[in-house]
Chains A and B, each alone.
Chain A
Amino acid sequence: MAEITLAGLGHAYRPDPRQPSDFALQPMDFAFADGGAYALLGPSGCGKTTLLNIMSGLLRPSHGRVRFDAQDVTAKSPGERNIAQVFQFPVVYDTMSVFDNLAFPLRNRGIGEPEVRSKVEEVAAMLELGPDLRRPARRLGADAKQKISLGRGLVRSDVAAILFDEPLTVIDPHLKWLLRRKLKQVHERYRRTLVYVTHDQNEALTFAEKIVVMHAGRVMQVGTPQELFERPEHRFVGWFIGSPGMNFVPLERDGDGLRIPGTDHVLPDGLVGPGQGRIELGIRPEHVRITGSPGAEGVPVEVERVEDLGNYALVTARLGTATVMAKLSEDAPLMPGQAFLRLPPAWTRLYLDDRLVH
C-alpha cells in the first residue's frame, strides 16, 4: 500500500508538444492518499484513461514523475510496480479454471502453493466466487469474469493500488449495482487505494470518497460528492455533475449591482468586486424555487414546460433572456405561464470567467 504522487505529470502523444492542446494530459501535481477510494470522472477523451495507464505503467509519461510513497516508479514496468488494473472488458485466461486465474499473479511471483491456496480461497469467498472455483473461467458470465479480474488484483498483498478503467461497461444494469456494492465492501475490508475511471457520475458518486473531475486533460476539481454538488469550483463541474446540470444565468453589471438581463432583479455587486470578465450566476435545479404566487423576492418568470418525471417535476422556465431548469416536488403543481422564481442565497453561486468567486 502506498500514497501515489504525481509530480509535474503530463503526457503528450506527439513527440514535441508546444501548446496546451498538444497534451492529452496537462502537466499536474496530485496525490492519491493511501487507502482512499477515488473516481476519475470526465467525458470521453478527457485524459482519464491516459492518467490511469500512466499510473499502472502501461504508458510512459512524456513529462513528470510517478511516485509510490518515496519510490520513483516512472520507469518501472507494470509487473514491477505492484499495481493491479481491471479493464473495460473482462480479461480472463480462457483455458484456466477460476482458481488458476486467481492464482496466476501469485504463481508468477513464485509464491508457495499453500499460501496461494489460502489467498485464493479467501478472495474467492469475499467475491462470492467460491462455488465456481473449479469451473473453466470462460464459462462464466461477464459480471463473474469482471470479479475474477478484480480478484487477481486482490490476491496480491503487495498491491499499492487497484485501478479500474470503466469496469462496468459490459455488465447488465441489474448486476451493476451488485458489483458496485461489492467494490465498496472490498474497499472497506482491504483498504487498498482504489482509482476508478468512469464517465458515469452515478457510478462515481456511489463508489468514491473523493472524485477527481477531469476535462480536456486537466483536473477541474477534487472533492467529495457533496462538495462537487454544492460548490462546483468551475463552470464545467457544475454543468457535468447533476442531471440536469447547474443552471447558469449571465449577469450584467448595473451601477452598484449585478442584474439578471431582462429583469429587475439585482444582486449586490460586492460579491464579485470590480473588474472585467464574464459573470454568471449558477444554481442547481434542485435549489431553484418556482411558485405560482409572488412571495418576497420573487422574480417573474415564464414557465414554458412542466415534465412529470415520476417523483419530481422538471420545470423549464424563461428568466429574462436565459432559460432555467428547476426540479420541483410533485405536490406543488405548476402550469405553463406566469410564475415567480426565488434564488435561495445559500445555494446561489457566482462565476467570473468560469471560476467560482462566491
Chain B
Amino acid sequence: MDKIENNKAWFLVLPVFVIVAISAIIPLMTVVNYAFQDIFSPQDRYWVGTEWFESVLADDDLHGALIRQFVFSFVILLVEIPLGIALALAMPARGWRASLALVLMALPLLIPWNVVGTIWQVFARADIGLGGWLVNALGIPYNYTNDPVAAWLTIVVMDVWHWTPLVVLLCYAGLRAIPDAYYQAAAIDGASAWKVFRYIELPKMRGVLLIAVLLRFMDSFMIYTEPFVVTGGGPGNATTFLSIHLTKIAIGQMDLGPAAAISIIYFLIILTLSFVFYNVMTRMGTGERA
C-alpha cells in the first residue's frame, strides 16, 4: 500500500520555523553579514573577508576586555556555586522557616538588573552610601570610582548578592528531591556528614548544579547592565567587560563591522564553553572518561 503523503503537516511546524527564524536565525545572519562586509547602505557594500576579524583579534582593548571577562566569570562561579550549595544545605527543610527562607532568597532575583545596579551604585558610594561610608568609617579606604580593586569588589559582591540565590534555589530543589531512604541508609552504614554530602547530596545535585553553572557562566559572561550603571566600565577600563567593550565599538564608535566580528567571537566562546561545561559535568564522578 502506498503511503499517503499529506503536506498539510508542514503547517503545524510552521509557527516554530517562523519564531526561530525571527528570534534567532535572521538577527544572527544580519550580524554575519556585517562581519564579512563593509556596509554603508544596502546598495553600497563591499566584501572584506576576514579583515574585521583580523583587526579586532589584534586589538589590545579586546584582549583586555576578554581577560577581564574570563577572570570575572571565573570568580563568580568560584564564589557563587560553593556559597549557593552551602546556603541550600543550611536552609530549613520544612515548616514556616523554610517558606521564609525561600521568600528571602527569592527577593534579589525579583529586582530588575538596572535597579540592582542603581541600588549598589548608591549603597557603595563613599560619600553618601551606607555601605561605602561604613567601610571607610572602619578605616579601610574604599572608593569604587577611582580604585580598580574597589570597583571590582563592588561588582563581584553585587553579583553575588543578586545571583547566588538562584544557585541556592536550584540546589535546594535538588536536595529536597533526595528520598529519605538515602539518608537512612547512610546513617545505618555509619557515614559521616561529609560522606553524606560527598556521596549522596553532591551526586544527586549534579543535574541542578549543571544548570546553575551553565546559567551563571552564561549570564556572568554577558554581564552589562549592572557594571554599566555602577562604574560605567571604569575607573579607566578596569571594569570594561566584553559587553561594555562591544557596546562602545558598536554604538559609541559606530564601527559596525568590527562590532559584528566581536559579536560572533563572543557568541562562539559562550557556545564552546557551555558545551565543554555540559560534557564535563555530565560525566564527572560517573566513572566514565570524558
Contact = CB atoms under 8 A, between A and B. Distances in A.
A84 to B, nearest CB: 6
Contact of A78 (B179, B181, B188, B285): B188
B286 A108 contact: no
Nearest to B284: A95
Ranked nearest first, the 7 interchain pairs of A and B with the lowest CB-CB distance are: A108-B190, A87-B181, A91-B185, A79-B190, A105-B189, A136-B287, A78-B187
Nearest to A91: B185
Nearest to B287: A136
A202 interface: no
B203 interface: yes
Interface residues of B, number: 20
Interface of A: 56-58, 77-79, 83-85, 87-89, 91, 93-97, 104-105, 108-109, 136, 138, 149, 152
B181 A89 contact: yes
Contacts of B288: 136
Interface in B190-213: 190-192, 195, 199-200, 203-204
A104 B287 contact: no
B182 interface: yes
A77 B192 contact: no
B189 A95 contact: no
A108 B195 CA distance: 9
B184 interface: yes
B182 A91 contact: yes
Nearest to B182: A91
A94 B204 contact: yes
Interface string B167-189: 00000000000010110110111
Interface string B142-181: 0000000000000000000000000000000000000101
7 contacts: A58-B184, A79-B191, A91-B185, A93-B200, A104-B191, A108-B192, A149-B185
Given A97-B287, A138-B286, 5 more contacts: A78-B187, A83-B188, A87-B181, A91-B181, A95-B203
B264 to A, nearest CB: 39
Q: Which of B184, B187, B190 has the most CB atoms of chain A within a 10 A radius of its CB?
A: B190
B205 to A, nearest CB: 11
A139 B223 CA distance: 40
B199 A96 contact: yes
Contacts of B191: 79, 104, 108
B60 to A, nearest CB: 45
A77 B187 contact: yes
B203 A94 contact: yes
Nearest to B191: A108
A105 B181 contact: no
Nearest to B189: A105
Contacts of A91: 179, 181-182, 185
Contacts of B287: 95, 97, 136
A96 B186 CA distance: 14
A340 to B, nearest CB: 55
B195 to A, nearest CB: 7
Nearest to A90: B181
A123 B199 CA distance: 22
Interface string B275-290: 0000000000111100
A357 to B, nearest CB: 43
B184 A108 contact: no
Given A58-B184, A136-B287, A108 B199 contact: no
Nearest to A59: B184
Nearest to B285: A95
A262 B204 CA distance: 65
Contacts of A78: 184, 187-188
Contacts of B188: 56, 78-79, 83-85, 105
Contacts of B179: 89, 91
Nearest to B195: A108
A126 to B, nearest CB: 19
B286 A105 contact: no
Contacts of B190: 79, 105, 108-109
A33 B78 CA distance: 56
